[in-house]
Amino acid sequence: MAPAPSSTYSAVTLNINGEKHTLTVDHRTTLLDALRERLDMTGTKKGCDQGQCGACTVLLDNRRAVACLQLAVAAEGREITTIEGVADGDQLHAVQQAFLDLDGYQCGYCTPGQICSAVAVIEEHAAGWPSAVTDDVRPEAGPPPLTAEEIRERMSGNLCRCGAYVSIVQAVARAAEADARARAVDGDRTADGSQAAKREGAAA
Ligand code: FES
Ligand code: FES
């Protein structure tokens, strides 16, 4: 017997950019369509709709995912970040700023996916993840230099029909440098704090 129509729908609560959205969706609804068609969050773009172009890239629990291959019901309980949630209020993310400063786009259609991908690439690289072009993949080798070749490989899931690749690579490199400087400053602060705590402990 065919299932009742209502059995193909469920209420889901999606945590998007820190806000909860509850909606009823057909179980076959992709996260991409839920974002664009149901929640009017059209920053995430639909290109191929079959996992080939990267235009629909979002972050799920801070890792890259193509929203066209993700069912909305399967995204419940995950932390979803779209291009609308990358900036910190009026403060653009370093990747967004670098794309603007270095003209990392032409028509801009692929840009939200490129930026979401780049945000995750920088995190993955800082965490020491190797890529297919990394020479030394031993864990103790640490992150490889983020060369143009590394960036091209790590961003290879994001296609740009305008061919803005040269500027995109430059923008990712610049944002990664800014991120590395910020991490170094944070590391110094943490080290200073630990030493101060040790001194206070010794003096007590
Ligand atoms: S629209 Fe999702 S990968 Fe192309
Ligand atoms: S800027 Fe036009 S598709 Fe990439």
DSSP per-residue letters across 69-135: GSBGGGGTTSEEE-GGGTSBTTB--HHHHHHHHTT--SS-SSHHHHHHHHHHHHHHHHTT---TT-S
User: From the CA of 74, how far away is ligand 2's center (Å)?
Assistant: 29
Number of other residues whose CB lies within 10 A of the CB of residue 68: 23
Q: What pLDDT band is residue 186 in, cutting at 50, 70 and 90?
A: confident
Tell me the C-alpha distance between 204 and 199, whole Å: 9
pLDDT score for 185: 86
Give the ligand with the smallest distance to the CA of 107: 2
Q: Which of 58-72, 115-129, 138-152 shows the lowest per-residue confidence on average (mean pLDDT)? A: 138-152
Q: Residues near ligand 2 with C-beta < 6 Å?
A: 105-111, 160-162, 164
Residue with tokens 């603007």: 100
Residue 141, pLDDT > 90, answer no
pLDDT score for 191: 67
DSSP of 1-64, one letter per residue?
A: -PPPGGGGEEEEEEEETTEEEEEEEETT-BHHHIIIIIS--TTS--SSSSSSS-TTEEEETTEE
Domains of the chain: 1-85 (3.10.20.30), 86-204 (1.10.150.120)
DSSP code at position 66? E
Which tens digit of pLDDT belongs to each residue from 45-102? 999 999 999 999 999 999 999 999 999 999 999 999 999 999 999 999 999 999 999 9
Distances in Å between the Cα of 93 and the Cα atoms of 86, 115, 176 are 6, 9, 11
Q: How distant is the alpha carbon of residue 1 from its chain centre?
A: 43
Cross-strand partners of 75: none
Give the ligand with the smallest distance to the CA of 49: 1
Does the beta carbon of 68 lie inside 6 Å of ligand 1? yes
When the pLDDT of each residue in the chain is averaged and rounded to a whole number, the result is 92
Does the beta carbon of 144 lie inside 6 Å of ligand 1? no
pLDDT score for 12: 97
Does the beta carbon of 49 lie inside 6 Å of ligand 1? yes
User: From the CA of 160, how far away is ligand 2's center (Å)?
Assistant: 5
Ligand 1, atom 3, residue with closest C-alpha: 51
Residue 202, pLDDT > 60, answer no
Does the beta carbon of 112 lie inside 6 Å of ligand 1? no
The pairs formed by 126-131 with CB atoms below 8 angstroms and a separation of 24 or more are 126/179, 126/180, 126/183
Tell me the C-alpha distance between 179 and 76, whole Å: 30
Which tens digit of pLDDT belongs to each residue from 11-58? 999 999 999 999 999 999 999 999 999 999 999 999 999 999 999 999
CA dihedral 151, 153, 154, 157 (to 10 degrees): 120
3-state secondary structure at position 65: strand
pTM: 0.89
pLDDT score for 2: 46
DSSP code at position 143? S
User: From the CA of 94, how far away is ligand 2's center (Å)?
Assistant: 20
Does the beta carbon of 31 lie inside 6 Å of ligand 1? no
